């Protein structure tokens, strides 16, 4: 995310125009030739101390209360044993994200994701801020729309726990 000063000013202008993070991500790629993930764009905007206009609207109180009343769901860890995790409700499109209470070795935070097609993967965020996916099926690559939906759901879940 090494942008020069003119590129940073351009991102600030786009935020001022009310562009959403996904639109900024697309413009960075098309106009400036800089390819970043949605999460990297979000971190860039945070680094620039800017507030995007596409903040997620508040969920209805009934849905939030129901999700927290259920508590964490048990999730099998890599060794097959139960590991408590913060389970997120599926997004409108069906991508479900959970955050492990105990991160995998070498990661700041980790968890599980289930994509629309039912395939699952473990995800992690390392100390360098890089997001990684480890699919259950070798060679599986989720569709781009699922990846973007996953990144938005992950951002929401991480913000709930202070990341």
Q: Give domain limits for the chain.
A: 5-47, 71-160
Query: Which single residue is written with the structure tokens 């879940």?
Result: 157
Which of 86, 40, 54 minimizes the C-alpha distance to 67? 86
Report d(CA 113, CA 134) in Å as an integer: 10
* 11 contact partners, CB below 8 Å, separation of at least 6: 3, 24, 28, 44, 45, 48, 50
The torsion angle over the Cα atoms of residues 153, 95, 104 and 66, rounded to 10 degrees, is 70
pLDDT digits (tens, 9 = 90+) for 56-90: 544 443 333 333 333 333 334 444 443 444 554 44
pLDDT of residue 72: 36
What's the pLDDT score for residue 1?
56
Per-residue model confidence (pLDDT) at position 52: 67
pLDDT for 82 equals 39
Q: What tokens does 37 get?
A: 């993930």
* Angstrom distance (rounded) from CA 103 to CA 43: 20
Low-confidence ranges of the chain (pLDDT < 50): 54, 57-85, 88-91
pLDDT at 161: 82
What was the pLDDT predicted at 73?
A: 36
Would you state the structure tokens that stand for residue 152, as one six-digit string?
């938005």
């Amino acid at each position: 995310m090494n942008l020069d000063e003119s590129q940073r000013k351009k991102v600030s202008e786009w935020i001022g125009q009310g562009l959403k993070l996904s639109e900024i991500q697309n413009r960075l790629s098309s106009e400036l030739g800089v390819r970043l993930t949605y999460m990297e764009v979000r971190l860039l905007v945070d680094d620039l101390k800017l507030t995007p206009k596409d903040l997620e609207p508040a969920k209805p109180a009934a849905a939030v209360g129901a999700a927290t009343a259920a508590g964490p769901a048990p999730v099998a860890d890599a060794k097959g044993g139960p590991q408590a995790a913060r389970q997120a409700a599926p997004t409108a499109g069906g991508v479900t994200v959970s955050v492990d209470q105990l991160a995998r070795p070498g990661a700041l935070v980790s968890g599980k994701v289930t994509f629309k097609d039912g395939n699952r993967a473990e995800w992690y965020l390392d100390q360098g801020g890089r997001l990684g996916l480890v699919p259950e099926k070798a060679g599986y690559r989720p569709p781009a729309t699922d990846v973007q939906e996953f990144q938005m759901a992950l951002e929401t879940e991480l913000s709930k726990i202070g990341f």
